[in-house]
Amino acid sequence: QMSLAEARRRAMEERAKITDPRVLANPARDRRETSAATTFRGLAEMRLAAVGRDALAPSTLAHYRQCLVRDCFPAFGDLPACEVRQSDVVSIVEAAASRGSLVHADRVRAVASSVFAFGIGRGLVPNPAAGIAQRSTSIPRDRVLTDSELGIILRSIGQSGASDEMK
């Protein structure tokens, strides 16, 4: 048997544990809350910030940004990443394909998948881009510009009214 004083003392100890942040810490809940609060845009920015470890070429990084800004962000950039569905990814891939480039559509899918794979690796999201079939096969081009054609392009760029950054 426990005395009333002893029961009160033990109750106070147990109550203190409940308000102690170390007891309240729940990594699974924290991941869920972080996941729910992370938008696709935020997840994509984290992915691009981690590029240094992935050793992506600058041209690949520029292409990733282009796909994200042109195709992904307008459609679901501000949605929580965990709420983006496969149908959302399919719709942007279809929209890109309808503009006439199946290769670009495949690249948009690949970029979205890369962002979600990054999130999966950190326990933040599922990958709704998984399982979407590739629409084309990339065929390397076998033609390059001649010196004459390249000269025409460079002269045209120089004579354009474009800013120095665009040139």
* pTM of the predicted model as reported, rounded to 2 decimal places: 0.58
62-120 per-position pLDDT tens digit = 899 999 999 999 999 999 888 899 999 999 999 999 998 899 999 999 999 999 988 88
> What distance in Å separates the CA atoms of residue 155 and residue 56, rounded to the nearest whole number?
31
**pLDDT for 52 beyond 90:** no
5-29 per-position pLDDT tens digit = 999 998 888 877 666 555 556 555 5
* Three-class secondary structure of residue 166 per DSSP: coil
Q: What secondary structure does DSSP assign to 38-61, as a single string? A: -BHHHHHHHHHHTHHHHT--HHHH
Cβ 129 vs Cβ 113: under 8 Å: yes
138-150 per-position pLDDT tens digit = 777 778 888 999 8
The residue with greater pLDDT, 111 or 160, is 111
Q: Express the helix, strand and coil content of the chain in percent, nearest 5 each.
A: 70, 0, 30
